[in-house]
Structure formats: structure tokens, C-alpha cells
Amino acid sequence: MPNWLNDPQRAVYDRESGLWCLYFLYNSQFSPNPAISKNDIEWFLMTSSDLVTWTAQHVAIPKYTTENGDPWSGFVFIDEGNTAGFGKGAWTILMTMPAAPHHVQTTALWYSPRPAGAVLQLS
């Protein structure tokens, strides 16, 4: 997959579609030349029915979504008990990212009320 960076997150099983969902850090503008490459990080989604063959889907968390900067690494879980208050079965993500204005590391919470494939929203 071109522009794959690193940090694959734990695969999560989507019971509705029968697919495994894997997010990883991605940079659509990556270049091996440091003078050209930017630190524009996004979360990209890939899916698999067998954990062997993967299909590229789309950017799930785009860059420049918040004033804080790009999303960094984190983890996904399906909140079956609605413990976070986004609805039963909401896809919930905790991740690190820089915090404005000094860009120190902070933790951000994202969620999607629908199964994987939906664009995740910052809470």
C-alpha cells in the first residue's frame, strides 16, 4: 500500500459486516525526500474477512480535522455497554495527538455511532 507509514492498530471485528477492520497511520503526501515530505498523518482503514487478504478502504480520520494537529497512534474498541455515552456498539477510539497551541502530547477521543467504514467524529 503506497504511503503506509506505521503503527497498525489492533484489528477489530465488525459483526455486522463479518469483516476485520485494521487502522494504521497513513500519509497521502509522503515522499522519501525529507525536503518534500510532510508530517501529514491520517488514519486509514483496511478490511479483511480472513486476516490474510486485506482490502484498502479509505481515510477514516483525516488530517487537519482539529486545531490540535494530526492524529497519532491509539486503539479502537466497540463500546457494547455504552460506557462512553455515544450509543451501544459505538466504535470508540482513544489516541494521542499534539495539543494546540504548544503541541505537547494529549489524548483525544473519537467515535462513530455506526460500524467501521464510517468517518469517525471527534467528541
In the structure, how many helices (H) and strands (E) does the chain have?
A: 0, 9
Per the residue annotation, which of 7, 14, 40, 79 is the catalytic one?
Answer: 7
Instruction: Pick one of 3.40.50.10860, 2.115.10.20, 3.40.50.1460, 3.50.50.60 as the CATH number of 4-122.
Output: 2.115.10.20
What digits encode the pLDDT tens for the residues 9-53? 889 999 888 999 999 998 877 767 666 556 688 899 999 999 999
Name the average pLDDT for the chain: 83
pLDDT at 7: 84
The contacts of residue 43 (CB under 8 Å, 6+ apart) are 9, 23, 24, 25, 26, 59, 60, 61, 71, 120
Strands (E), 8-103: 12-14, 19-26, 42-48, 55-61, 74-79, 90-99
DSSP 72: -
- Of 42-51, 83-92, 99-108, the one with minimum mean pLDDT is 99-108
What are the boundaries of each domain within the chain? 4-122
Locate 82 and state its grid cell.
Answer: 455504552
Q: Catalytic residue at 79? A: no
